[in-house]
Amino acid sequence: MARPVVMGLINGPMSIVPVAQRRAELLGYIADAGSAGCQIVMLPEFADHHRTTESLAAHSKGPEEVRKQLGFHLESPWLKEVSALARKFKMVVIPNVMLQLDKLWRNSCIVYGPEGTVLGHYNKAHTAPGECNYFEPGNAIEPVDTPFGRLGLLICYDINFIETTRCHELKGADILLWTTMRQAENEEGLYRAGLAARTIIHGLPLGVSTYVNEGQVLARNPMSSILYNCFGQVLAGGRSTPGVVRGVVDLDERPLERRTWSKPEWVDSPSYLRRQRRPDLYGVLVKPLSDAERNLDNEPTARPALPDQRGDD
């Protein structure tokens, strides 16, 4: 039985503007998505402040200033506006913000439901180099239930750990959703092979919300917000301008494979593969790190200067 869901994945702008202008632009994109009938809308990582004048100034002064100038609480006015749009259009909206929860700062996806209430959140579990100075990593990988499906959320650096998406698969996620900044020199491999392969491995669709820049087409850079089905095929995306990438995905569609080669009988491939897993062989995956491994310094390798594709704050 088909279960179509209309996705709205925001292509974030990269131009440097005041934070108030950026947040107003995003509210406009969310409203555009709602008017276009989107049922789930996701924003890029830290879209509310990334590449704004206030963000650049705050980062030059250190983590405390970043939290002071750019951090949110659940009752912050802009988040209330996001909640109101979710309620107005009866959709799920997922902003990713720097959020203070229980006195700890997190890189957090907040899931607002069609009534404007918080259905759940996901805190980034894996921190990129230097990020631990700004927020604490999350300690749970749990899909979030919504009226439009069970969402397996990932944030930026999480994509490097296939264990994260495997946990979402095993816990019953209907779709994987990745919010991220740009990936610089890793973008080509991710978008040409890595993301599509992840959908095939787990038998799940994948939505990506990220940023685009003006020189993207000329640089033959593939990264933009995009929607894949469970076969690794692109359903929507590839735009190089800011705005809403809209696409429809069937959450009940799954790859099939033959039960035997001699009979035309088919089985649900992801379910079959899950039954064939051998946890008794995978102990190394949950073995605690030694002190030496945990404290290992990654010495940088000298490389030629590269153009700024990511647009860091």
Residue 243 has a pLDDT of: 95
Neighbouring residues of 197: CB distance < 8 A, sequence distance ≥ 6? 232
Q: Is the pLDDT of residue 161 over 60?
A: yes
Segment of 117-126, 177-186, 271-280 carrying the highest mean pLDDT: 117-126
Q: Which of 238, 188, 184 is nearest to 208 (CA)?
A: 238
pTM: predicted TM-score of the whole model, two decimal places: 0.92
Neighbouring residues of 12: CB distance < 8 A, sequence distance ≥ 6? 26, 43, 44, 47, 50, 209, 210, 211, 212, 242
Q: Is the pLDDT of residue 299 over 60?
A: no
Q: Which of 76, 74, 135 is nearest to 104 (CA)?
A: 135
pLDDT in tens, 73-91: 999 999 999 999 999 999 9
Q: Name the CATH superfamily, with its identifier, for domain 4-255.
A: Carbon-nitrogen hydrolase (3.60.110.10)
Contact present, 8 and 245 (Cβ < 8 Å): yes
DSSP class per residue in 80-142: HHHHHHHHHHT-EEE-EEEEEETTEEEEEEEEE-TTS-EEEEEE--SPPTTGGGT-PPP----
Residue 63 has a pLDDT of: 94
The residues spanned by each domain of the chain are: 4-255
Q: Is the pLDDT of residue 298 over 60?
A: no
pLDDT-above-70 percentage for the chain: 92
Residue 149 has a pLDDT of: 97
Alpha-carbon distance 304 to 309, whole Å? 15
